[in-house]
Structures are given as structure tokens and as C-alpha cells.
Amino acid sequence: MNSRLPISGTLAAALTASLLLGHNNGVISGKNSVPLGVTTGYPSCGSCHNATASSVVHVDITSAASVAPGANVPMKLSVADNTTYTRGGFEMETSAGTFVASANTWTDKTVRGVEAITHNDSLSRAWSFSWTAPTTPGLVTMTAVGNAADGDDKEKGDNWGWYGSDATLPGVPYRIFVNEASIVSAGDGCTGADGFKPVLGIAKAPAVNGTWDTEAYNLPVGTPTIAILGLSNTFFGALPLPLPLKGIGGGDCVLRVSLDVMQVAITAGRGAGGGSARTTWLVPNDTTLRGLKLHFQQMTVDSKANTFGFSFSNALTATIQ
Ligand code: HEC
């Protein structure tokens, strides 16, 4: 607290302002005395609440992983800690697209112009809302911070932290891929190391006499990963697809495409869930291939995912143009 004395006047003014503006009703970066960039670094909620993020906090986000351009995507954000209190709040920001508020949330732009959503009362620890994907394909990243409050309407004593496997690390991205319009989602992936679910996306449709990429995210760093192209998503030899892998220790993982062509890469990146891999594919100059359906899934060596030792992404189906 001593280190704060020089700025105590500012802090008192900030607290007064936030009380007057009903801080309980939401927090947007850079507005109502809230610091800039609350989802990506200090001081964040700690400028008024406990100074440091707490490792007992867990901010979780769930939604579809790989979506169509312009899609309306239901999302859920929850915050938990090691107490039985039931109050809380959050702020989440997105690199693209727009949030659509529900009854207990509201949206705004931060002072830097970033799209954001927050709580409008502190009565819950989970919020359902939606997000409209941008029309431009590509990776979208979201960052979030949550406060697991003790409900005493005071700023001290609450546990707060950032989204990710370690709530004390700011700015860990939640990733959603926006696919090219003709790409079809064909089933979910399963959770791998540190709670990250691999995301597979395609930003450009395959076309005769051209190359395009599949992109995989949310993977462990420095591990072999296999991009699978299958000509079928109903049979792999005699085996019917999708094939649940529970029986061989694969947990919730499901093989969704036949193992016809595979390309191996080593994931690059930093931090938990920060690994990614891009795989380039080629369609020969043969117009009879137009209309052929190609099925994709990413399989990654991940000893923490399950006893089988692999995680699996969502599956996608592309049609050669
Ligand atoms: C400018 C100071 C300030 C900042 C920054 C701040 N808060 Fe608060 N917050 C307060 C004060 C003061 C209270 C208690 C009075 C009130 O509820 O208005 C409070 C209360 C709350 C409550 C209700 C607590 C309860 O016990 O019911 C929640 C939830 C909350 N804040 C969430 C957040 C989140 C999430 C952040 C970071 C994104 C944040 N706050 C950042 C000042 C702040």
C-alpha cells in the first residue's frame, strides 16, 4: 500500500468516480477510471481491487472453435476461484467481429477502439452472450479478465485473474478461426494440454491449379503435429467415421476423417496453448477435380491430452472450386 501513497489522491478520485458511475455494472478498458488494456496487462482490475492477479482464479471461455464468416456464435464466459461466493464480473475484448449483449452484459468499445463486453450486475459468475464473426476469414483472438468477487460490495478481498491455464498471465488469447465462406464445419475437437482445444481453420478455398493452407492453433509448443487430408468422413477402410477414440485411451477425442494424406510439422510459438502449424496443400491443374470434397483434421502429439497421447482438432470439409 505504501508504494501507492503518492497517487492516493488520484486513486481516491478514481474510486469516487467509479462508485458514482456504478462500477458494479461493468468495466471497460480506459473508461470510468478503469486503466487501459485490462485484459492484456497490469494494473488491470488491480488498480482498485487486490493489486495482483490470483492463481486460484479460473476464467473459462467456451464457443464454437471454427466458424463461417458473419456467423452468430453463442459464447459463455465463467469465472471461478476456491471460494463458494457467487458474485463476479468480467471484461473481454476481441480483435475482430462484434459482441452481442445478453440481459446481464453490455458492449462498448475501449478508448483504443477495441470491441469489448462486460457484466452489468455482479450477481453471477457465468455469462452467456454471442459474437458476430467478421466477414473476412482468418484467426480472431480474444482476451479476458474476470473477478471472482466476495459480494461485500468492496473492492478488496476479491480474487481476479486473466483467461488461460494460469490466471496470473495477462493477454493469453482465446482463439476462434473464421473460415472462407465455402468451408463447412464437420465436428468438434477435444481438449489437449493445459485445457486448450485445438482449432483448425481454412482461410482460402481449394481451387484447381492452386495452393491453399490449413492452419492449426491452440497446440502445445515444439511438438509434432499431423495435418490429415481425408477423401472420406464416413469410412476409413472398414472403420466407420466418426470414430470415438475412448476405447484406446483417447478420452473425448474423435477421428473424423480418413487418413489418406498426412503432412507432419513441428509446432512453433510460445506459452501454454501458443503452438501453431500451417500446412500448404496443392490441387493439380485438372478441372475434373472440381466439386471433389476434401476433409481435414489436425492430430497432435500431446501426452497431457489423454493416455492415447494425441489431441484432435475440429474437422472441416472443403470443396475444390
Ligand atoms: C477504478 C477502480 C476499479 C477498477 C479498475 C475495477 N474495479 Fe471493480 N470495483 C471497484 C469498487 C470501488 C467496487 C465496490 C463498489 C462497487 O461495487 O461499485 C468494485 C466492485 C466490483 C464488483 C462487485 C464486487 C462485489 O463484491 O459484489 C465486481 C464484480 C467488479 N468490481 C469487477 C471488476 C473487474 C472484472 C475489474 C477489472 C476488469 C474491475 N472490477 C476493476 C473499483 C474498481
Q: What is the pLDDT of residues 102-123, one digit of tens each?
A: 999 999 999 999 999 999 999 9
Domain end position, chosen among 147, 175, 203: 175
Q: Quick check: 229 pLDDT over 90? A: yes
pLDDT at 152: 87
Rounded to the nearest whole angstrom, what is the distance from the C-alpha of residue 159 to the centroid of ligand 1? 11
Q: Are residues 166 and 296 in the same domain?
A: no
| DSSP conformational letter for 163 | B
Which amino acid is located at 274 in the chain? G
Quote the mean pLDDT of the chain.
Answer: 93
CA dist 173 and 181 (Å) reads 24
The verdict on the CB of residue 153 being under 6 Å from ligand 1 is: yes
Locate the ligand 1 atom nearest the alpha carbon of residue 22 and give its number: 18
Domain end position, chosen among 109, 140, 175: 175
pLDDT band at 1 (very low <50, low <70, confident <90, very high): very low
The verdict on the CB of residue 33 being under 6 Å from ligand 1 is: yes
The domain total for the chain is 2
pLDDT band at 155 (very low <50, low <70, confident <90, very high): confident
pLDDT at 217: 98
Q: Are residues 18 and 161 in the same domain?
A: yes
Rounded to the nearest whole angstrom, what is the distance from the C-alpha of residue 12 to the centroid of ligand 1? 14
Computed on alpha carbons and rounded to an integer, the radius of gyration of the chain in Å comes to: 22
What domain range is 151 assigned to? 2-175
For the full predicted model, state whether its pTM sits above 0.85.
Answer: yes
CA dist 17 and 20 (Å) reads 5
Question: Using CA positions, which residue lies closest to atom 40 of ligand 1?
Answer: 45
Q: Are residues 19 and 129 in the same domain?
A: yes
Cross-strand bridge partners of residue 299: 226, 312
Q: Are residues 78 and 155 in the same domain?
A: yes
Rounded to the nearest whole angstrom, what is the distance from the C-alpha of residue 279 to the centroid of ligand 1? 45
The verdict on the CB of residue 175 being under 6 Å from ligand 1 is: no
Domain end position, chosen among 120, 153, 175: 175
Locate the ligand 1 atom nearest the alpha carbon of residue 85 and give its number: 26
Report in angstroms the alpha-carbon separations of 92 from 24, 68, 114, 288, 299.
16, 21, 10, 47, 30
Q: Are residues 104 and 252 in the same domain?
A: no
- Domain CATH for 98: 2.60.40
